[in-house]
A = this chain, B = another copy of it.
Amino acid sequence: MAVNVSISLNPGLYIKDPQQSELGKRIIKHSILLIDEIGFEQFNFKKLAEEMKSTEASIYRYFENKHLLLTYLVSWYWEWLNYMIQIKTFNVEDPKKKLEIIIHTFVLISEENPAIDYVNESSLHNLVIAESTKVYHTKGVDEENNKGFFLNYKEMVSSVAEVILEIKPNFPYPHALASNLFEMTNTHFYFADHLPRLTDIDNKAGQKEEVEKMLLFFISKLLD
């Protein structure tokens, strides 16, 4: 399935829209790969410039700093996830079936969807798993929230919460369950790989299916 929409993100996240130029697209492409490879703490614009054969100053014309670049990339993921959920559940009537599709998408999004040529979806998902909580765990969170930087996340949670309420209209914690299902997906991929005693998911082939099964088990207990 080819996705030919250009992902629409909050303009406050960048100085100059990286999707509108070749250099901008190369910044997106190489920053995803480099952050996935060396980690966000070790990542900086000088290394990125070397990697993509450009200059530090050129990258600063697109993004104010590396924190906003990370926020941009993670917002991209949230928006892309949200978009995939919408199109995959569009014609589905049964809300239980919808939630199953949502969970399947949380877990397997990067494998199923070859989307935009300058974005390596698998690396982007790894980046989200390893680094995304740093986006909103800062002292500037309230200010950035006021600027709408986390709207893509909130919209995704809001649409999942709606489905939960379709299944069980009096469920008292639809938003908390929605955000928790999403966070759990990523957390337990990470734990399985690095801190296996904090989970019951094996670090083996079939890991994704195991996580999916666990999430389905949780919602069946909570919503049946």
Interface residue A60 (Cβ < 8 Å from any Cβ of B):
no
Determine if B133 and A133 form an interchain contact, defined as CB atoms under 8 angstroms apart: yes
Determine if A197 and B180 form an interchain contact, defined as CB atoms under 8 angstroms apart: no
**A 174-204 binary contact with B (CB < 8 Å = 1; else 0):** 1110011001100110110011011111000
**Copies of this chain, count:** 2
Contact of A154 among B173, B176, B195, B217 (CB under 8 A): B195
Closest chain-B Cβ to A195's Cβ sits at a distance in Å of: 6
Determine if A214 and B176 form an interchain contact, defined as CB atoms under 8 angstroms apart: yes
Determine if B179 and A141 form an interchain contact, defined as CB atoms under 8 angstroms apart: no
Interface residue A42 (Cβ < 8 Å from any Cβ of B):
yes
Interface residue A137 (Cβ < 8 Å from any Cβ of B):
yes
Determine if B175 and A198 form an interchain contact, defined as CB atoms under 8 angstroms apart: yes
A155–B50 alpha-carbon span in the complex (Å): 43
Besides A153-B198, A176-B184, 4 other CB < 8 A contacts?
A: A41-B139, A145-B195, A150-B195, A180-B187
Contact of A137 among B131, B139, B184, B218 (CB under 8 A): B131
Known contacts: A176-B214, A187-B183. The answer to whether A197 contacts B158 by CB under 8 A is: yes
A195–B137 alpha-carbon span in the complex (Å): 11
Determine if A199 and B176 form an interchain contact, defined as CB atoms under 8 angstroms apart: yes
Interface residue A32 (Cβ < 8 Å from any Cβ of B):
no
A195–B136 alpha-carbon span in the complex (Å): 9
